[in-house]
Amino acid sequence: MLDYALFAGGCFWGVEAAFRATPGVAFTKVGYAGGSTVDPTYKDVCRDLTGHAETVLVIYDPAQISYKALLETYFSINEGSCACDEMGSFGSQYRSIIFFNNAEQKQIAEDLINFLNRSHVYEAPISTDLVLTKNFYLAEDYHQQYYEKHGLVDQAC
């Protein structure tokens, strides 16, 4: 049985490409989560009118990859210490968020963040928000699998 996870951490194009290349991930979709606007548009999200962050929905097979391994993939492409993505873009839509679906996912994320902070893996402490999943709205079709559509797969994180 497949499960899902939601991650925000910069521009969703690169985050999606990284997860699509991860064994055990069945498929991904990019969209918006964490805000209050129903069915937001990219234009509204970029104008900071919605409260949403650019987010990747990851559908995965827990028999092939654990939630912890997905988190490790996430932190390998997003250090989680600022509201910027791997390309240096800034804005609230690029903030670092792990959306959890239940207490177990939240605990796994907290444990990994605590471990990474204690280990000083990154220069600054991880400030990624942990937020209960409440909504997810698909982004416009031209954003889906953007790197693949534009021949940029080799540039993924």
How buried is 101 (Cβ within 10 angstroms: 0-12 exposed, 13-18 middle, 19+ buried)?
Answer: middle
Q: pTM surpassing 0.85?
A: yes
CATH code that applies to domain 3-155: 3.30.1060.10
The rounded distance, in Å, linking the Cα atoms of 108 and 40 is 30
Choice among 11, 46, 82, 84 that is catalytic: 11
Strand, helix or coil at 149? Answer: helix
Q: Where are the beta strands (DSSP E) in 18-148?
A: 25-33, 53-60, 96-100, 129-132, 137-138
Query: Is 11 considered catalytic here?
Result: yes
Contact 129, 36 (CB under 8 A): no
Domain extents in the chain: 3-155
Q: Cα 27 to chain center, whole Å?
A: 14
Per-residue confidence in pLDDT tens, the chain, 157 aa:
999 999 999 889 899 999 999 999 999 999 999 999 999 999 999 999 899 999 999 999 999 999 999 999 999 998 776 544 444 456 789 999 999 999 999 999 999 999 999 999 898 999 999 999 999 999 988 888 767 777 776 554 4
